[in-house]
């Protein structure tokens, strides 16, 4: 059953979040498959769509003929309100199917402060929250992701957790579900527990000591494994990687093509959970990445390729890889972006090549303010190396650098905070524009610091305020310490937090990871009525002998290794890169994985000289052809904004390899101009875009190529070569003709009287609200004519509106101003033309 969301989309912000018809999205017939999976991300669309793991699973599952996967994200507040008001259950994007009609719902857990959203999504879907209250009439609820490595806070609500790398386990889980889908739920769960990496909480018991620590944790049956071993992809070259990634209409958090070049990190930072959990380090081969990068760009049309890794500098042939892509993409103006970089001697080489096309974002992860504290956390870089890296970027004219620090690390003193300030002041002398980001440290499971207490909330706020005062002259951003405190509680929490979570949700908590929506008072009340003290989890130092809530999860990193690293931290002893020497963590022995060394993976690649990699902006190619494209914007895309439309056109042109000219400057973009924006929700029979080409192209071929790449709902009607006699785009769009329908309980005579009164005025003022500001607009000066005709069930409106350099009016604003009690049933732009053309029509 498909739910109808059309009536509520005009009432919500960013309706694009809920469309599900993006380029490269997959739509399958649910009647032709055996297993239906809803991939759920407990945050808004633009956050969830940025997550690579979900993209991988989406394509793996849909590549199977007997399975389909569709996406579902947490609806924003306004959408949820409308859904509950209209009784619309949570639905999948692709087919708008209620989540209850899927076999499996899989949540991706990337952040502990999304847990209330998990409960809210289940409730919106009309699925019982507690696992014990769900029988086979409801979907199997599973979860995975980095936060699932401590699954206990959600143990009451999730049927099964997938521990490890999803692409290694998901197909086996689907096969097992398919085999036992007709069996009772208890039988299914027992069978799932036999899969390595699957943890079924209901099959385990936990007992506590009087002091609140865990006395024992054990399986309820001898058939259930005592330890859950994570799943690991042994060879990335043999694993699946999505090359035809979904291209959102709207801008998302990481709005670029993604290419994962390696997994894991060999540096061993003692605070870093991902660095420990994603061991062993595995690299994709240089030859494979070259082809992947080109194919991803060709299939998506993105103007930027992001090379993903926990430590991109650690990839054996990173300089050669970036040099290759810089040369490959420079003529198309496609940039290369990198995640936050560890300060290293390679930094200058990397940013030099990245800057050859466009200067994308550059973030350096410094972490701590003094050499002593950096040694403590095993961030083996000194102040001299940091300053040299900053100095190197100056040589290539990088204008903005973001620096990332943490506060509240174990043993941190005031001198370390002053070290952050002193280091930034020294960097500032290098002539850079610096953006400073500071986050409180959070103790995480499976790290050497998992036993350490988080600094108290009051002290974290004091230290953050101190840095704010000292760095008031800089662009300074920070994470709210209240978020970090709650994150620490649930990071190191046990099953008893399930009660707190449920109470917090019932009190109205959701989107807790968004500072503006975190309500700490409600959380404090939830802890109080649950009889739980959050400080027990966040601010208590734990003994190495204590049973931890996650000890039944085996990540293959020996606990003895973590304890040894913990002791080394207090001695200021650095642990070397495990690419250089085995540090004895135990992972490679348990996964039969050979330790990666740079010498094994370095490619024999001739590095291009910089003279062959001159930036595209230094050699602008002459314009050889100017083109005008006339196209439609139909029902399927009427809820995408004007900026979304521009973005969609850009990427379609890139996929079609249309030789569009590129602007000069810091961040080059395609030379295109569009006709005036349409209001979201309005269709159009005639929109325009002017392109400048660097190579001549047959208009018919361009039309065919562009129509092949544009999404359904945007159709190119005509491609015209422009000459000197053609009017500019601003001239041919001076008038917009709209046709719409209105439902209103008034007689035709009264309607026409109202209309005549409006047209007889010289002024008609309305208030327009935008970004919290109110502006008064005289809409009458933009209305040239309005006609109204009665049809059997409604009235048809025709509006001719003026578009000027200083503004225009939306057709819905005019209709509401004249007929406030009416209901607009639809609106479409019929035509656009110049004033001279209109005058000619009038004379004729």
E strand intervals along 10-133: 35-41, 67-73, 104-108
Q: What is the mean pLDDT of the chain?
A: 91
Handedness of CA 307, 308, 313, 314 (dihedral sign): negative
Closest alpha carbon to 227 in 212, 237, 217, 241: 217
Q: Is the pLDDT of residue 754 over 80?
A: yes
Phi first, then psi, for residue 43 (nearest 5°) are -155, 175
Across residues 744-756, what is the average pLDDT?
89
Distance CA 159, CA 319 (A): 45
What is the predicted pLDDT for the residue at 607?
Answer: 41
Give the model confidence (pLDDT) of 491-544 as tens digits: 999 999 999 999 999 999 999 999 999 999 999 999 999 999 999 999 999 999
Q: Is the pLDDT of residue 552 over 70?
A: yes
- DSSP letter for each residue of 519-564: -HHHHHHHHHHHT--THHHHS----TTSBPTTTTEE-SS-HHHHHH
Can you tell me whether residue 122 is helix, strand or coil? helix
Q: Tally Cβ neighbours within 10 Å of residue 530.
A: 18
Q: How does DSSP classify residue 17?
A: G
Q: Which residue has the tokens 């000292």?
A: 470
Overall residue count recorded for the chain in this entry: 844
Closest alpha carbon to 261 in 233, 284, 290: 284
Lowest mean pLDDT among 401-405, 446-450, 665-669: 665-669
Q: Could you tell me the pLDDT band of residue 667, with boundaries at 50, 70 and 90?
A: low
What is the predicted pLDDT for the residue at 361?
Answer: 61
Across residues 762-774, what is the average pLDDT?
87
CA contacts within 13 A on the Cβ side of 472:
4
Can you tell me whether residue 652 is helix, strand or coil? helix
Q: Could you tell me the pLDDT band of residue 290, with boundaries at 50, 70 and 90?
A: very high
For 680, 734, 736, 829, 842, the CA distances from 675, given in Å and listed in that order, are 15, 10, 10, 12, 24
What is the predicted pLDDT for the residue at 616?
Answer: 36
Across residues 745-774, what is the average pLDDT?
89
Give the model confidence (pLDDT) of 149-201 as tens digits: 999 999 999 999 999 999 999 999 999 999 999 999 999 999 999 999 999 99
Q: How does DSSP classify residue 710?
A: S
Can you tell me whether residue 362 is helix, strand or coil? coil
CB 695 within 8 A of CB 625: yes
Share of the chain above pLDDT 90, in %: 79
pTM, to two decimals: 0.93
Q: Could you tell me the pLDDT band of residue 337, with boundaries at 50, 70 and 90?
A: confident
Range among 49-53, 473-477, 839-843 rated most confident:
49-53
Distance CA 711, CA 708 (A): 8
Across residues 31-37, what is the average pLDDT?
97
**566 or 843, which is more confident?**
566
Which three-class secondary structure string do you get for 776-788?
EEEHHHHEEEEEE
Burial class (CB within 10 angstroms; exposed 0-12, middle 13-18, buried 19+) of 758: middle
E strand intervals along 11-109: 35-41, 67-73, 104-108
Whether residue 280 has a cis bond before it, omega within 30° of 0 = yes
What is the predicted pLDDT for the residue at 506?
Answer: 98
Handedness of CA 821, 826, 831, 834 (dihedral sign): positive
Contacts of 555 (CB under 8 A, 6+ apart): 149, 230, 276, 277, 279, 446, 587
CA contacts within 13 A on the Cβ side of 45:
23
Can you tell me whether residue 420 is helix, strand or coil? helix
Q: Could you tell me the pLDDT band of residue 360, with boundaries at 50, 70 and 90?
A: low
Across residues 343-368, what is the average pLDDT?
72
CB 557 within 8 A of CB 275: no
Q: Could you tell me the pLDDT band of residue 837, with boundaries at 50, 70 and 90?
A: low
What is the predicted pLDDT for the residue at 612?
Answer: 36
CB 189 within 8 A of CB 140: no
Return the axis-axis angle of helices 481-491 and 457-470, rounded to nearest 10°.
Answer: 140
Contacts 24+ apart (CB under 8 A), 586-594: 586/556, 586/557, 586/558, 586/561, 587/279, 587/280, 587/555, 587/556, 587/557, 588/280, 590/556, 591/232, 591/234, 591/280, 591/556, 592/234, 593/232, 593/234, 593/280, 593/282
Q: Is the pLDDT of residue 434 over 90?
A: no
Across residues 261-270, what is the average pLDDT?
94
Q: Could you tell me the pLDDT band of residue 611, with boundaries at 50, 70 and 90?
A: very low
What is the predicted pLDDT for the residue at 605?
Answer: 38
Q: Is the pLDDT of residue 218 over 70?
A: yes
């Amino acid at each position: 059953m498909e739910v109808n969301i059309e009536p509520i989309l005009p009432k919500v912000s960013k309706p694009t979040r809920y469309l599900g018809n993006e380029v490269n999205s997959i739509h399958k017939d649910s009647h032709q498959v055996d297993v239906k999976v809803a991939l759920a991300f407990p945050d808004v669309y633009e956050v969830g769509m940025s997550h690579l793991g979900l993209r991988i699973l989406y394509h793996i599952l849909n590549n199977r003929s007997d399975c389909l996967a569709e996406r579902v994200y947490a609806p924003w507040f306004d959408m949820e309100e409308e859904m509950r008001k209209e009784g619309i259950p949570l639905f999948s994007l692709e087919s708008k199917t209620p989540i209850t009609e899927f076999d499996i719902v899989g949540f991706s857990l990337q952040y502990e402060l999304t847990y209330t959203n998990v409960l809210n999504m289940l409730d919106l879907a009309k699925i019982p929250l507690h696992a014990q209250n769900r029988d086979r009439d409801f979907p199997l609820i599973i979860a995975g992701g980095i936060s699932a490595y401590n699954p206990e806070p959600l143990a009451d609500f999730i049927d099964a957790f997938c521990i490890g790398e999803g692409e290694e386990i998901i197909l086996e889980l689907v096969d097992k579900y398919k085999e036992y889908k007709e069996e009772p739920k208890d039988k299914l769960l027992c069978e799932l527990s036999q899969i390595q990496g699957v943890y079924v909480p209901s099959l385990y018991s936990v007992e506590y000591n009087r002091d609140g620590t865990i006395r024992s944790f054990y399986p309820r049956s001898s058939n259930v494994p005592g330890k859950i071993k994570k799943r690991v992809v042994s060879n990335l070259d043999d694993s699946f990687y999505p090359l035809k990634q979904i291209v959102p209409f709207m801008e998302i958090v990481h709005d670029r093509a993604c290419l994962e070049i390696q997994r894991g990190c060999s540096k061993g930072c003692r605070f870093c959970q991902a660095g420990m959990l994603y061991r062993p380090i595995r690299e994709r081969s240089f030859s494979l990445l070259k082809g992947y990068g080109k194919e991803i760009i060709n299939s998506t049309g993105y103007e930027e390729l992001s090379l993903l890794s926990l430590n991109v500098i650690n990839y054996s042939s990173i300089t050669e890889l970036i040099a290759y892509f810089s040369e490959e993409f420079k003529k198309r103006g496609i940039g290369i972006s990198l995640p936050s970089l560890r300060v290293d001697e390679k930094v200058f080489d990397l940013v030099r090549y990245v800057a050859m096309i466009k200067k994308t974002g550059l973030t350096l992860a410094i972490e701590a303010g003094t050499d002593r504290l950096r040694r403590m956390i095993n961030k083996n870089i000194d102040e001299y190396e940091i300053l040299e890296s900053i100095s190197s970027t100056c040589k290539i004219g990088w204008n903005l650098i973001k620096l990332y620090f943490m506060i509240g690390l174990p043993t941190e003193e005031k001198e370390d905070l002053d070290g952050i300030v002193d280091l930034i002041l020294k960097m500032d002398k290098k002539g850079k524009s610096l953006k400073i980001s500071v986050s409180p440290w959070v103790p995480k499971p499976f790290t050497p610091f998992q036993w350490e207490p988080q600094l108290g909330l009051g002290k974290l706020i004091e230290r953050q305020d101190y840095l704010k005062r000292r760095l008031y002259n800089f662009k300074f951003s920070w994470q709210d310490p209240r978020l970090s405190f709650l994150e620490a509680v649930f990071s190191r929490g046990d099953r008893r937090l399930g009660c707190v979570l449920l109470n917090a949700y019932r009190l109205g908590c959701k989107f807790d990871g968004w500072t503006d929506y975190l309500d700490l008072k409600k959380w404090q009340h939830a802890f109080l009525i649950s009889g739980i003290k959050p400080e027990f989890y966040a601010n208590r130092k734990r003994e190495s002998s204590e049973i931890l809530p996650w000890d039944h999860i085996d990540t293959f990193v020996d606990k003895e290794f973590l304890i040894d690293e913990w002791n080394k931290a207090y001695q200021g002893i650095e642990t070397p890169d495990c690419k250089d020497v085995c540090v004895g963590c135990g992972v490679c022995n348990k996964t039969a994985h050979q330790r990666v060394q740079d010498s094994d993976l370095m490619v024999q690649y001739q590095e291009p000289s910089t003279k062959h990699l001159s930036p595209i902006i230094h050699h602008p190619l002459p314009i050889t052809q100017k083109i005008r494209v006339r196209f439609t914007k139909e029902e399927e895309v009427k809820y995408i904004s004007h900026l979304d439309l521009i973005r969609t056109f850009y990427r379609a042109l890139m996929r079609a390899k249309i030789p569009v000219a590129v602007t000069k400057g810091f961040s080059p973009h395609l030379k295109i101009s569009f006709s005036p924006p349409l209001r979201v929700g309005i269709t159009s029979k005639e929109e325009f875009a002017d392109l400048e080409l660097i190579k001549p192209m047959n208009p018919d071929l361009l039309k065919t190529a562009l129509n092949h790449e544009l999404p359904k709902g945007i159709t190119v009607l005509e491609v015209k070569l422009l000459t000197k006699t053609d009017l500019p785009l601003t001239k041919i769009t001076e008038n917009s003709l709209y046709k719409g329908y209105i439902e209103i309980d008034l007689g035709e005579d009264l309607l026409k009287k109202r209309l005549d009164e409006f047209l007889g005025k010289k002024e008609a003022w309305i208030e327009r609200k935008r970004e919290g500001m109110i502006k008064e607009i005289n809409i009458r000066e933009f209305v040239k004519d309005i006609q109204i005709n009665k049809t059997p069930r409604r009235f048809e409106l025709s509006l001719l509106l003026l578009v000027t350099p200083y503004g225009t009016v939306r057709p819905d604003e005019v209709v509401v101003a004249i007929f406030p009690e009416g209901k607009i049933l639809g609106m479409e732009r019929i035509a656009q033309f110049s004033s001279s053309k209109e005058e000619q029509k009038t004379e004729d």
